[in-house]
Amino acid sequence: MSDNLMTIGDTRLEFCWVGVPESSEPVIVFLHEGLGCVALWREFPHRLCQKLGMRGFIYSRAGYGKSDPCDLPRPVIYMHDEGKDILPRVLDEAGIQQAILIGHSDGGSIALIHAGSNSSSRISAIITLAAHVFSESRCVGSFTAARENYQSGDLRDKLKKYHGVNVDTAFYGWYDAWAHPDFEYWNIEEFLPDIDIPALVIQGADDAYGTKLQVDAIVAGIGSSTENHIIPDCGHSPHLEKPEATMSLICDFINRL
């Protein structure tokens, strides 16, 4: 989508703007999944922002897409670091004063950490797609299958089209953290009670990386301001597998804010 780069500390991060050129509305900030990047959102951000008449901002975290590489192994708390430290600096650098966060998978977890730990009033609402708030042992097989597909199947070639020289960093940075023995104890539910903004929680009914227990925990943790939807016949990427249904839920939610 774009070759724009911003510098956070010593690291250059790929970013792009989508949607309407100028708007007084909050900016929709898209936070990608554990194997994602700017390009892997595909056309969904542009279509959503055009439909809403809003501006959108997408960036690739370090080690993904066209951003600079990062050191491996990633720490088990890498999503904490992204939500509490990196995301506020990205928003500052982009000049975003008011934002709605849309996070997919890891990006959803990062959005929840940020919203539950940041005292500023910059975030108007959050929307999560297949977010995790704790580790589920029943989903370990999905990570093992992804590793086997990456090493022996076609997953590496597919991801290399988007991540280029970052492809191994992107995959093993994600996989090695989630497969680490300490990740069994990873949990971000502590951040949920401090989220006092509207939240929309979306998950596919057939998500291989998380069950409805994730949705239930987010709703229980945040409380009455939370709306949730389980999309039938949908896996881990509602915005790609069921784009029209996902877009309709998000548009309805944002229009009611």
Tens of pLDDT, residues 189-198: 999 999 999 9
Residue 74 has pLDDT above 80, yes or no: yes
pLDDT at 224: 76
Q: What percent of the chain has pLDDT over 90?
A: 91
Q: Give the separation between CA 110 and CA 104, rounded to whole angstroms.
A: 9
Token code pair at residue 204 = 């596919």
Residue 31's nearest CA partner among 126, 117, 98, 118 is 126
Q: Tell me, what's the pLDDT at 14?
A: 98
pLDDT exceeds 80 at position 159 = yes
CATH number, domain at 139? 3.40.50.1820
Tokens 């042992």, residue located = 137
Q: Over 50: is that where the pLDDT of 1 sits?
A: no
| Per-residue pLDDT at 2 | 53
Please list, in sequence order, all residues whose beta carbon lies within 8 angstroms of the beta carbon of residue 36, skipping any fewer than 6 positions away: 60, 64, 104, 105, 106, 107
Percent of the chain with pLDDT over 70: 99
User: Residue 27: which domain range?
Assistant: 4-255
Whether residue 116 is predicted with pLDDT greater than 80 in this model: the reply is: yes
Number of domain units in the chain:
1
Better pLDDT: 165 or 143: 165
pLDDT at residue 3 is higher than 80 = no
**For residue 140, what pLDDT is reported?**
78
